[in-house]
Amino acid sequence: MKIQPIRGTHDIFGEDLLLYKFIKNLISNLAEIYDYRQIITPIFEDTNLFKKPLGEDSDVVLKEMYSFKDRNDSFLTLRPEYTTPMIRAAISNNLLSKLPIKLFGIGPMFRRERPQKGRYRQFNQINFEILGTDDSFSDTEIITLADRFLQQLVSKEKFTLFINSLGEKNTINKYKIILTKYFEKYMSDLSKESQSKIATNPLRILDSDNPLDIKISKDAPKIKDLYSIESQRKFEQVKNLLDKLKVKFKIDEKLVRGLDYYCHTVFEFKSNTDESQNTLIGGGRYDGLIKLLGGPDTPGVGWASGIERLMHLSKKINFQPATVNVIILDEKYKEFAVQLIHALRENKIKTTFDYKYNLKKSLSNASANKVPYVVIIGEDEYQNNKYTFKKLSEGTQSVISLEEIINKLKK
């Protein structure tokens, strides 16, 4: 019986895993400098945590959630995103008594999307959230952190930051009504998918990549014409602060993001490629969400990034080969040799053994794996309690003691 992996899932190993760990380390170090605390939450939650906050008409809730009935008849969902679980955890653990609080998380998310390059059904996200302030510096702080993160992974010519403001919640609601009216006039010219969104989620038609929709959206009413003075002021502040911090951005009036909870600043970092899955980081402000989830009426802002998409863009990292390969010429020297291998490892020297007991095979193995040194153990070595130590690149060798090997390799 050969079991296949589940469609849209993937295993991470080898050099990809090195890159994955590198990215995790990089972001953990940045989180430390920017003073965020990590939180790890369960991968499954009550389905209600996602339904309303993300939007009953959002693609994620309509089509993509992995939800199931538990044995006690409650409904559970494998988390499709991390913002709502983080807020849920902050509320459950009383973390919102002193605000603001800055949290980050790393872990798998689950969405039943059509799998393709850069789009998986289980993928890994990095999430940052600032809960408890609507200061425009918190928007720019979290965007700047994302910008720094990306610049340390890929060169800055490879991505662009797009920002927009959706204004207040009631501005968005007004805008939705205006947009619905506008798109209704072009009902039959829109793509099938957008037609189904006119009444429920007209904002999403704006960021459709279907050429028919793009043409019609061009002349659609603009949300900026509905901003309140306060929204306008906030957005100007965010832009000014980004300028001061020398974070380059472009305004994208059609940027709306896919989930219901966003308001005011929204942003996306996109790779400058033609690939369809090119959003590397997406986020925005979500005032009102914490209250909706049963917490205090306090604002928040955050972003999420898919590690797999970053891995496609980043440079490969090569394995560090072992420092020394121990070659045992015959099984009868095994007991003598394993003690040497153990001693080398106890001295933190990366040591490998290939279980071949064959000089020729092991030597070619060592050079194929770019291992610089080998230690050879045969009858003479066994009798004299010394080892043949060889530097492969130079072909030089000497017969020396364990202490001498350790001294040479520790340098």
358 vs 263: CA distance, rounded Å: 67
DSSP collapsed to 3 states, 142-191: HHHHHHHHHHHHCCHHHEEEEEEECCCHHHHHHHHHHHHHHHHCCHHHCC
Range 77-96, binding ligand AMP (CB under 6 A) = 81
210 vs 192: CA distance, rounded Å: 10
Among residues 98, 118, 93, 96, the alpha carbon closest in space to that of 42 is found at 93
CB of 117 vs ligand AMP, minimal distance in Å? 10
Scanning 50-58, 69-77, 170-178, 275-283 for contacts with ligand AMP by CB under 6 A, the matching segment is: 275-283
CB of 201 vs ligand AMP, minimal distance in Å? 14
Scanning 242-250, 301-309, 313-321, 369-377 for contacts with ligand AMP by CB under 6 A, the matching segment is: 301-309
Residue 304 as a binder of ligand AMP (CB under 6 A): the answer is yes
Residue 282 as a binder of ligand AMP (CB under 6 A): the answer is yes
Scanning 138-146, 221-229, 274-282, 322-330 for contacts with ligand AMP by CB under 6 A, the matching segment is: 274-282
Give whichever of 310 and 322 is closer to ligand AMP, judged by the CB atom.
Answer: 310
CB of 118 vs ligand AMP, minimal distance in Å? 6
Residue 114-153 contact track with ligand AMP, rule CB under 6 A, x = bound: ----xxx--x-x----------------------------
Whether the CB-CB separation of 205 and 197 falls below 8 Å is answered with: yes
DSSP 225: G
Residue 306 as a binder of ligand AMP (CB under 6 A): the answer is yes
Residue 280 as a binder of ligand AMP (CB under 6 A): the answer is yes
Who's near 236: CB < 8 A, 6+ residues apart?
none
96 in the Ramachandran plot: left (φ > 0), alpha (ψ -120 to 50) or beta? alpha
194 vs 289: CA distance, rounded Å: 26
Residue 387 as a binder of ligand AMP (CB under 6 A): the answer is no
Range 243-272, binding ligand AMP (CB under 6 A) = 258
At residue 314, what is the residue type?
S
Q: Which residues bind ligand AMP (CB under 6 A)?
A: 81, 111, 113, 118-120, 123, 125, 258, 279-282, 304-306, 308-309
